[in-house]
Amino acid sequence: MSEYTGYNGNSLEFLKINKIQVGDSVKIFADITYLGIIMPRYEHSDDKHVVLKLKSGYNIGLEIEKIEKIEKNPPIEKSLEKNQEIRNNEDLPNILLLSTGGTIASKIDYRTGAVTPVLTAEELNSSVPELGEIANIDTKVLFSEYSENIMPQHWLKIAQTIKEYSKSDYSGIIIAHGTDTMHYTSSFLSFSLAGFPIPIVLVGSQRSSDRASSDAALNLIGAVKFLIESKTNGIYIVMHQDENDETIACHIGTRVRKNHTSKRGAFQTIGSDPAFLIVNNKIHKNMKKDFFKIQGFEPKIKINEKVALVKYHPGYDPDLLKNIIDSGYKAIIFEGTGLGHIGENMYPVVKRANEIGIFMGMTSQCIDGRVRMTVYESGRDLLNLGIVPLENMIPEIALVKAMWVTGNTEKYDEIKESMLNEIASEFST
């Protein structure tokens, strides 16, 4: 039953005897007194504990044998004033915020414990009132997906939506996005919307807004300040620089990846410093050059998903690569070892892929540095077999770029030329 999700045996009996359900606000007397919300449990949890969400936002498990008494409190209401009205200030710039889901665009449902997507102008104004003092925020929900569920078709929808605002009076556009695949989305937008006249930022949060350590509000505030004050264009990811709240980093969308599972400063620019830093509300520019600009805005919002990212490892079965070729893939991005190598047992299949006109690009598994395939004989062999070195392009970004390029042309020479030409600062000097 949903009233007791995840509870069984002794813990279920404990809740029923005390007439407590999931979502109830309670006071628990044990070693100390606890106040919080009874949360659901995982399906295969033990029957010796109840889970309580504290006011700080953290969940704790309490052993029922050590609970002296439990009392039900009046329900906690998490709602906005119905008559709250948002009035635009004509003296402030306008920002468009598009929501795709993720932790930053969600709140806790205190009845079920579920995370639910919510992102309206009213809710933003209520939860982050500082935003209303620096910009007028218009919001639009495109979809509500965990980032692992965002697919290339979602990238197309985001890009098509943004394209419609190329001649608007917005100072910039924010995309609220889950962090796990954020740099894939930022890459596709960087290529398909190259030359977009106003800056676009993707912003997320590592910790939900109900937690005391949440980074959601500060990331949003930093994103808005960046859009208004940076005087730049291009696509960026805006997140915490580290664990403290003093610095927000603005990363170029094709030179960034998520390098930690849970830290607030999870995102890092690869091969350089973040393009901009916001330190104590002041913007500092680190870029050695302006964002690579395309003359005029001519969006190319197409994609071909028949591109593979192959991470080579000792013992990799060449038949796996053969299956990719036989499945009709148009391009293969290798994530090779060191300077850009794969084992010689792969050579016959690579030769076949080259003969039938499949583009093959080489990136490195190393976090930093460039592919140099002329240093060793094995690298030179791979060059002769048709593999194209992609300098220091990040493997995931190379994958997305190849999807975009092969979506716009089927000619091998044009694919190769586009993969080697800088479109959106995907190469780092």
The catalytic site residues sit at 103, 179-180, 258
- The SS3 call for residue 92 is coil
- The SS3 call for residue 402 is helix
Alpha helices in 145-267 (DSSP H): 152-163, 182-192, 216-229
Report how far apart the first and last C-alpha atoms of the chain are (Å, whole number): 58
Report the alpha-carbon angle 253-257-260, nearest 5: 145
Cα separations (Å) of 50 from 9, 34, 69, 74, 272?
12, 12, 13, 19, 47
The owner of tokens 């106003």 is 198
Cα separations (Å) of 366 from 93, 237, 341, 396?
42, 22, 12, 13
CB atoms within 10 A of CB 306: 16
User: What tokens does 240 get?
Assistant: 């915490």
CB atoms within 10 A of CB 51: 21
Three-state SS sequence of 18-73: CCCCCCCEEEEECCCEEEEEEECCCCCCCCCEEEEEECCCCEEEEEHHHCCEEEEC
